Amino acid sequence: MRGSSFIFIVICLIILNSCFKEELPQPSNDNTTSLEPGVVEGVNWVLADARVYVLNLQSNSHNVYDYFDASIQTANTHITGGTINLIDSIRQNYTSWKFQNNIFTLNNSTSYAYEYSFGFYKVYGLEDGSARPIEVKTVTKDLLVVNFHNAYGSINGENYNYYTELTFIPQGSSCSNCKLSVPYGWVYSGVWNANTSNPTTLEGTRWIVKRYNNGLSGNVYPNDTLDFISQNQYTINSGTSRNYSLSNVVGNNMKSLSLYSFTTLGGDYGGQVQATFIDDWAINNSKFQDLFNVNNTVTLWMIRVD
């Protein structure tokens, strides 16, 4: 009798097990040596690469995009609308992070508080008053990969959940191919088209920088000409092309304009402008900040001439 009962139980377990739904295999991070904070902290990590994972909540499509290619080295991780948080603006081979003694230093210039718990860093006191969780995925002495800025948003009437994967290497080192493999179930889809989050474009317009004031030297009248030659590049006085981004600001009727290598002001600057500024043909009395040193601020006046 006992033998028959045992055989019956085994048969039942086999039947039940065959009914369980098979789970999708998860990607492995074979490079991970430890997720303890001591492996990450005290190192000046420089951004080597970045990509964004985008889940379309309507179609359930899972797509992975690069942020950077040979012509694009800057991006904003808030893909469905701009923010004023400096940490969201990334630049390949320039953006740097350092965690040390509960102080997070961005780009060797701007500092915030942070705390660490179970593989997550949380950076506090961003420019909009928020905090940003950062999940450590892979870390060795030569490589740091994190998941960053997990958010929801809408583009052209469709809803998305997305997050950014940032790959860092120690300052002064190099990496020929630092990307992790694309996880099972996701489809690599090329380079992210930032313009999908921006229904209004500067492409084809020409502007004159009439005046700026940095509070120290008084008013300066450079009269530099800015030509926006594509959806993400512009020139100054017909010179070398450089990058820019234009995106919506969540929660108000403004847009976020970032001008990289903006030598008129002496660096990379960004600010909030009226949403109607292109149709108004003017940017008046707008505050722009150095994207990598928030203490450098100027007031800017520009007019559109074409």
The 10s digit of each residue's pLDDT in 129-158 is 788 999 999 999 999 999 998 888 777 677
The yes-or-no verdict on residue 174 having pLDDT over 50 is yes
Query: What pLDDT was estimated at residue 37?
Result: 60
268 Cβ neighbours under 8 A, 6+ residues apart? 91, 258, 259, 260, 261, 262, 290, 291, 292
pLDDT tens digits for range 217-244: 789 999 999 999 887 789 999 998 888 8
How far apart (Å, rounded) are the C-alpha atoms in residues 302 and 134?
A: 37
- Can you give the pLDDT at residue 70? 87
* CATH 2.60.40 corresponds to the domain 37-197: no
Round the average pLDDT of the chain to a whole number and report it: 82
Whose tokens are 């740097």? That residue is 96
Largest CA distance in the chain: 99
Confidence band for 5, pLDDT divided at 50, 70 and 90: low
The percentage of the chain sitting over the pLDDT mark of 90, rounded to a whole number, equals: 44
> What does CATH list as the number for 206-304?
2.40.128
Please determine whether the domains at 37-197 and 206-304 fall in the same fold group of CATH.
Answer: yes
pTM across the whole model? 0.62
pLDDT at 23: 34
Q: Which of 256, 297, 52, 276 is nearest to 160 (CA)?
A: 52
Copy the structure tokens of residue 93: 């081979």
Nearest to 104 by CA among 80, 129, 134: 134
DSSP conformational letter for 215: S
What's the pLDDT tens digit per position in 56-92?
Answer: 998 999 999 999 988 888 888 888 766 668 898 888 9
Question: What secondary structure does DSSP assign to 58-91, as a single string?
Answer: TT--EEEEES--SS--EEES-TTSB-S-GGGEEE
More confident residue, 72 or 36: 72
Asked whether the beta carbons of 75 and 192 are under 8 A apart, the reply is yes
The upper half-sphere exposure of residue 34, i.e. CA atoms within 13 Å in the direction of its Cβ, equals 8
Q: What's the pLDDT at 199?
A: 44
Question: E-strand spans in 102-253?
Answer: 103-106, 110-117, 120-123, 132-139, 144-155, 158-170, 187-191, 206-213, 219-220, 224-228, 233-236, 242-248
Joined together, the tokens standing for residue 56 give 């379309």
Instruction: Reduce the DSSP state of residue 257 to 3 states and report it.
Output: strand
Give the containing element (helix H, strand E) for 295.
Answer: strand 293-304
- Domain residue limits, the chain: 37-197, 206-304
